[in-house]
Chains A and B, each alone.
Chain A
Amino acid sequence: MENNGINEDQERWLAFQTGDKDALAYFFNTFIGSLYNYGLKFTQDEDIIEDTIQDLFIRLWTTRKRLSMPASVRNYLFKAFRNLLFRKLSKLQKTSKYESEYIFLDVELSAETNHINAEQQLIRDKRLENALQQLPHRQKEAIYLRFYENASYEEIAQIMGTTVKACYKNVFRALSYLRETLITVITYLFFRLFFLN
Chain B
Amino acid sequence: MKQHPTVDGYLTYDANDFLADEYFQEWVKYNHPETAMFWQQLQELHPEKKKVIQEAFDLLSSMRFKTRTPDESRTRRIWEYIDVHTPEHNIRHINWHYKKMLAAASILLLIVLGFWQWRKTQFIYKDTAGSEISRILLPDHSEVILNANSRLKYAKDFNTNNKRELWIEGEAFFSVKPFTDGEGKSQPFIVHSTDLDVLVTGTAFNVYARRQLTRVVLNHGRVTIQFKNNRETARQLLPGEMLEYNETKKSLLQQPVDTLLFTSWKQQRFIFTNTPLKEVAQIIEDFYGCKVVFKDQELASYKITAEIDAPDIASLDTLLSKALNIRVTKDGNTLILESKP
Asked if chains A and B come from one complex, the reply is yes
Number of interface residues of B (CB under 8 A): 39
Q: How far in angstroms is the closest Cβ of chain B from A174?
A: 9
CA gap between A21 and B85 in the complex, in Å: 12
Q: How far in angstroms is the closest Cβ of chain A from B88?
A: 6
| One of A81-89, A90-98, A141-149, A189-197 contacting the partner | A141-149
Q: Would you call B19 and A153 a contact (CB within 8 A)?
A: no
* Given A25-B79, A150-B29, A182-B59, CB of A57 within 8 Å of CB of B70: no
Q: How far in angstroms is the closest Cβ of chain A from B94?
A: 14
* B69 on the A face (CB < 8 A): yes
* B98 on the A face (CB < 8 A): no
The interface residues of chain B, by DSSP majority, are classed as helix
- Cβ contacts under 8 Å, A100 to chain B: none
Q: Point out the residue from A50, A109, A168 that lies within 8 Å of B64, measured CB to CB.
A: A109
Q: Would you call A62 and B25 a contact (CB within 8 A)?
A: no
Q: Would you call B19 and A179 a contact (CB within 8 A)?
A: yes
Name A160-187 residues within 8 Å CB distance of B: 168, 171-172, 175-176, 178-179, 182
Q: Point out the residue from B60, B64, B70, B81 that lies within 8 Å of A36, measured CB to CB.
A: B70
- Cβ contacts under 8 Å, A70 to chain B: none
Q: How far in angstroms is the closest Cβ of chain B from A58?
A: 5
- Cβ contacts under 8 Å, A62 to chain B: 86, 90
Name B161-206 residues within 8 Å CB distance of A: none
- Cβ contacts under 8 Å, B90 to chain A: 62
Report B302-326 CB contacts with A as 1/0, cut-off 8 Å.
0000000000000000000000000
- Cβ contacts under 8 Å, B58 to chain A: 111, 113
CA gap between A106 and B59 in the complex, in Å: 17
* A130 on the B face (CB < 8 A): no
- Cβ contacts under 8 Å, B247 to chain A: 29
Q: Point out the residue from A50, A54, A179 that lies within 8 Å of B16, measured CB to CB.
A: A179
Q: How far in angstroms is the closest Cβ of chain B from A73?
A: 15
Interface size classification for chain A: 35 or more
Q: How far in angstroms is the closest Cβ of chain A from B321?
A: 23
- Cβ contacts under 8 Å, A178 to chain B: 59
Q: Please list the residues of chain A having a beta carbon within 8 angstroms of any beta carbon in chain B.
A: 19, 21, 24-25, 28-30, 32-33, 36-37, 40, 46, 50, 53-54, 57-58, 61-62, 106-113, 144, 146-148, 150, 152-153, 168, 171-172, 175-176, 178-179, 182
Given A32-B69, A175-B20, list of 18 further CB < 8 A pairs? A21-B86, A28-B82, A32-B70, A32-B75, A46-B70, A57-B86, A58-B85, A62-B90, A109-B62, A111-B59, A112-B62, A146-B25, A147-B29, A150-B29, A152-B22, A175-B19, A179-B15, A179-B19
22 A-B residue pairs with Cβ-Cβ distance under 8 Å, sorted by A, are A19-B88, A33-B69, A36-B68, A37-B68, A37-B69, A46-B74, A50-B74, A57-B82, A61-B82, A108-B65, A108-B66, A109-B63, A110-B62, A113-B58, A147-B25, A147-B65, A171-B20, A175-B20, A176-B20, A179-B16, A179-B19, A179-B55
Closest 10 CB pairs of A and B: A111-B62, A172-B20, A61-B86, A175-B19, A33-B69, A176-B16, A106-B66, A148-B65, A108-B64, A57-B82
